[in-house]
Chain A
Amino acid sequence: MVDFMRRALELASEALTAQEVPVGCVFVHNENIVAESRNCVNATRNPTRHAEINCIDTVIEYCKLNNIDYNTYFKDILVYVTVEPCIMCAAALTNLNVKEVTYGCANDRFGGKTVLDISEFYKNNYILNGNLLADEAMALLKQFYKGVNPNAPESKVKKEKR
């Protein structure tokens, strides 16, 4: 378990190097990592390209290539992500019926539990565990937010910081 989160943290630091919000994620199936990714919102100019979304894409592609029914496959997926999934990702993972989500630190800006608990109105919820290597995950975020988002226009950066 800790090893999977350590891998997710490595991916998060990769994101930091690439000037992206440092979040990393791995999807585990039968004890094996079947997808791993990190945030790439700035590179794609698509604010939905979170680590979890990228992993979902990888799994779907893999299932299609190997003629596996992804609906069944996702039911056995365990998600390890350095930061609590945001409302969008939490909803996506809920809809896909993943088995379990384990996160590092809580997400008090966008969290799908902390900011808006989506399990209150979406059924079929996964098991959610938090606080695995939370300090490491938080340290990376703090490092990022010390700088500024390089892609936002000046005025917007200022507004956000206010």
Chain B
Amino acid sequence: MSEATEPPGKKAKMADTIIDNVIENIMHSKKNLTAVLDDDFYKEIPLIKVYIGHAKDPKEISRMFQVLNEKVPLKEFHHLKRARKREILLCPTVFLDTVMPQSIQEFLEQNVDELKDCFEYFKEIEVPHKPPLVRKQYLECSKHWSINFHPNKYLEKLISDDFFKNEDLIDHRLFMGMAFEVAKWYQNDKKFTLEDIVKGNINAAVVVDPKNRSVVAVVCDNRYEHPIQHAAMLAIDNVAKTQKGGAWSTVVDSGTGTLAGFDKGMLMHLKNKFREVNYGAKMFVSKRDDAIQSEDSPYLCTGYYIYLLREPCVMCAMGLVHARTKRVFFCYDNLSNGALKSKTKLQCVEALNHHFEVFTGFL
């Protein structure tokens, strides 16, 4: 029987099976997730030409240091050590362009006269222009010259692809699986197909409060009906609903109070399928309604994680910045519109007032 003549029920079932397989893969893989970090951490450090001199007398080196640091400071090149064995870093070659001497010997005679006879010979070599940011760059840089480097332990862990402990990884994979389950659940309702979920632009979102492993809101894209109701935008609104707010009345038969982030039917289905986690937001205490403002009361998506099928677009990603989301997890890259990896990395725009961490690599 060709696909076209199959009864719709059977086709839907097939779609379910395919998505179930994806969920299975996501939830049972042992692979750690990958942090999506600033391109600068992966770039080669550019090199700059410098003059070095070979010290005649190694015992003199520490005195030469003092004189040089005083008279020819390295300024923006603090990452470069002044010496490597008997080689002493004198200055970048561009220093000479501005002061006019013909040779490095002349430069020394004019600027550091007391050292003019201390060197056996001079050499022009290339050294790293900028400080290395991560260990991998540091190792590369060290091949050229001795480098001062103080690794940022957290960053090294993030970039290592071994960031999450096993128990956390299991949770992240579970919540991503849940996002696919959500998409599957809404498939018929929202009139999109399996293709849209796996290859198209349909998105689904699960918002989690990691402090108590509780699912706060789940949503599925409604962009075919309303062009800005992408999953992340809906998720932010559903979170608002758990805080006595919200603007869109898209949730059919929605829960109330701390469970306002769910459709009732959806919640029941998830509770059945994923029994090991909690559901609902923490109690919201409004500053205006209540004299005692609890430090614990939720505020926007502060502290929350969001799990999305695919990399969000610029609108959604910036919405998640406005909402102060703590971490964003996504499964598929969004090559045409993605704002966290594919087209730009919004999490790395320094001018913004909030920066979330981004993780992918579920499949």
Residues in chain A within 8 A of chain B (CB atoms): 40, 43-49, 53-54, 56-57, 60, 70, 86-92, 95-96, 108-110, 115-116, 118, 121-122, 150-156, 160
Contact = CB atoms under 8 A, between A and B. Distances in A.
Contact of B295 (A56, A108, A121, A153): A153
B346 interface: yes
B299 interface: yes
Given A122-B314, A150-B287, A48 B227 contact: no
18 contacts: A45-B246, A46-B236, A46-B240, A46-B247, A47-B300, A47-B323, A60-B226, A86-B322, A87-B314, A91-B318, A92-B315, A95-B228, A109-B351, A109-B353, A122-B314, A150-B288, A153-B295, A155-B295
A155 B297 CA distance: 12
B351 to A, nearest CB: 5
B94 interface: no
A60 B244 CA distance: 25
A152 to B, nearest CB: 7
A116 B319 contact: no
Interface string B81-102: 0000000000000000000000
Given A48-B319, A96-B228, A151-B288, 4 more contacts: A44-B240, A44-B246, A56-B228, A110-B318
A54 B339 CA distance: 23
Nearest to A155: B295
B333 to A, nearest CB: 14
Contacts of B343: 121-122
B318 A88 contact: yes
A108 to B, nearest CB: 8
Contacts of B228: 53, 56-57, 60, 92, 95-96
Interface residues of B, number: 40
B299 A86 contact: no
A46 B245 CA distance: 7
Given A48-B319, A121-B343, A153-B295, A88 B314 contact: yes
Interface centre among B240, B243, B346 (most CB of A within 10 A): B240
A19 B248 CA distance: 21
B349 interface: yes
Nearest to B324: A47
A1 B229 CA distance: 30
Contact of B299 (A57, A115, A121, A156): A156
A110 B321 CA distance: 10
Nearest to B245: A45
Contacts of A109: 351-353
A48 B346 contact: no
Given A88-B314, A91-B315, A154-B293, A48 B246 contact: no
Contacts of A44: 237, 240, 245-247
A46 B247 CA distance: 7
Contacts of B337: 122
B247 A153 contact: no
B66 to A, nearest CB: 39
A116 B343 CA distance: 12
Contacts of A110: 318, 322, 352
